[in-house]
């Protein structure tokens, strides 16, 4: 009898756990609507998945948001921490708006992201170290903001990155040597910042690089092993 009751309890617990997961996923649409309004978006829609630029997918009865494209939407708010709840996103594009405030560390929860474009806004503060958790990321655009502080060494964890654009901001300090870990990188734009110190020799490991922009900084000494196709 004890074994039977224990088994029943385990089955019930598993059922409740599965239900909770599905319910959590089904709330993606509500989360998207709240995020849109927090960023200054105006709509009469009650369903966030019906917003223009939102792509959802049905999975086991749940509505999962996979893509958000809100470029050029005249958004004028902050990026709320609730963005981290959309763990199934593979593409988040909110460029060319008037967003302000910092990039929330919860962005690191979006471990399925492949595209992240937040450029051409008024974002400030530093790049959160949690961005290093986005190991699937292929395109990262944060340029043309007021982002300051150092480039976090955790950027070197983004081993699938193809394009990295951090130009025209207020970044300072050295280029982290870990940037040499980005073996798939083709485009690197760090120009028009306040970066200083020597260019790390590890940047010579970027064998797939096609364009490298480091101009208009306070960098010193170019490594002799730097053999790149297009250095400006």
Which stretch of DSSP H or E encloses residue 66?
A: strand 62-69
Domain boundaries, the chain: 2-220
CATH for 2-220 is 3.80.10.10
Contact 121, 146 (CB under 8 A): no
Average per-residue pLDDT in the chain? 88
pLDDT tens figures, 14-34: 444 433 334 444 489 999 999
- Reported pTM: 0.85
**174 or 224, higher pLDDT:** 174
Q: 145: pLDDT confidence band, cut at 50, 70 and 90?
A: very high
> 150 falls in which pLDDT band (50, 70, 90)?
very high
How many other CB atoms are found less than 10 A from the CB of residue 198? 12
pLDDT at 5 over 60: no
Average pLDDT over residues 176-183: 97
pLDDT, tens digit, 9 for 90 and up, residues 37-69: 999 999 999 999 999 999 999 888 889 999 999
């Amino acid at each position: 009898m004890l074994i039977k009751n224990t088994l029943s309890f385990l089955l019930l617990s598993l059922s409740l756990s599965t239900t909770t997961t599905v319910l959590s996923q089904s709330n993606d649409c509500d989360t998207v609507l709240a995020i849109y309004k927090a960023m200054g978006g105006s709509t009469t829609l009650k369903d966030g998945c019906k917003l223009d630029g939102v792509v959802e997918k049905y999975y086991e009865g749940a509505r999962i948001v996979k893509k958000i494209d809100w470029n050029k939407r005249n958004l004028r708010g902050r990026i709320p921490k609730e963005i981290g709840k959309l763990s199934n996103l593979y593409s988040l594009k909110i460029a060319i708006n008037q967003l302000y405030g910092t990039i929330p560390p919860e962005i690191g929860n979006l471990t399925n992201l492949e595209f992240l474009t937040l450029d051409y806004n008024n974002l400030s503060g530093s790049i959160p170290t949690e961005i290093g958790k986005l190991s699937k990321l292929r395109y990262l655009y944060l340029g043309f903001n007021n982002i300051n502080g150092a480039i976090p060494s955790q950027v070197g964890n983004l081993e699938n990155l193809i394009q990295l654009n951090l130009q025209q901001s207020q970044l300072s300090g050295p280029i982290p040597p870990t940037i040499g870990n980005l073996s798939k990188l083709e485009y690197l734009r760090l120009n028009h910042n306040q970066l200083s110190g020597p260019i790390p020799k590890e940047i010579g490991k970027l064998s797939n690089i096609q364009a490298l922009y480091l101009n208009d900084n306070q960098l010193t000494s170019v490594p002799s092993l730097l053999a790149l196709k297009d250095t400006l």
